[in-house]
């Protein structure tokens, strides 16, 4: 079944070239299926690559899945353009009143931090 992602998300072209069925929000709206709503808290520095990897795996689900990408409100990007984060990510304060079916929290490359 399809994964429901924003039309301009960079991962969309990669996934389509790999024959993973994706649909944008307007097409998903016309289907009579309640999608699973999943939050992805992406803590990895290379956000676009991580998005593609996660969506590739989750695209094999038999369910329609809608993703909301979450980022800490205090995050200052170093490896991903601020414009990308502004367009595709939200903060907890913007979604705290909504209900979701699940949450995925990516790891963070802490092995690169000095202790």
Tell whether the model's pLDDT for residue 30 goes beyond 70: no
Question: What is the phi/psi pair of residue 65, to 5°?
Answer: -125, 130
The H-or-E segment that residue 103 falls in is strand 102-105
Q: What's the pLDDT tens digit per position in 90-106? A: 999 999 999 999 999 99
Residue 89, domain extent: 3-112
Residue 21 reports pLDDT greater than 80: no
Span 49-64, mean pLDDT? 84
Total number of domains in the chain = 1
Average pLDDT, the chain: 84
pTM exceeds 0.85, yes or no: no
How confident is the model at residue 25, as a pLDDT?
A: 66
Q: Which helix (H) or strand (E) holds 48?
A: helix 47-58
Q: Is 37 left (phi over 0), alpha (psi -120 to 50) or beta?
A: beta
CB 25 within 8 A of CB 6: yes
Distance of CA 87 to the CA centre of its chain: 12
pLDDT of residue 33 exceeding 70, the answer is no
Tell me what the mean pLDDT of segment 69-92 comes to.
92
Give yes or no for residue 115 having a pLDDT over 60: yes
Q: What is the CATH number of the domain that holds 32?
A: 3.40.50.880
Cα 100 to Cα 68: distance, rounded to the nearest angstrom: 9
- Cross-strand bridge partners of residue 68: 39
Closest C-alpha to 77, from 42, 35, 34? 42
Distance CA 47, CA 44 (A): 6
pLDDT higher than 80, residue 34: no
């Amino acid at each position: 079944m399809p994964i429901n992602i924003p039309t301009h998300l960079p991962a969309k072209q990669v996934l389509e070239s790999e024959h993973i069925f994706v649909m944008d929000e307007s097409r998903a709206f016309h289907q009579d299926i309640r999608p699973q709503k999943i939050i992805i808290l992406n803590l990895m520095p290379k956000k676009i690559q991580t998005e593609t990897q996660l969506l590739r795996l989750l695209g094999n689900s038999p369910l329609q899945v809608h993703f909301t990408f979450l980022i800490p409100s205090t995050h200052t990007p170093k490896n991903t353009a601020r414009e990308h984060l502004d367009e595709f990510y939200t903060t907890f304060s913007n979604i705290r009143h909504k209900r979701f079916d699940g949450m995925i929290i990516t790891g963070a490359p802490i092995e690169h931090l000095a202790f």
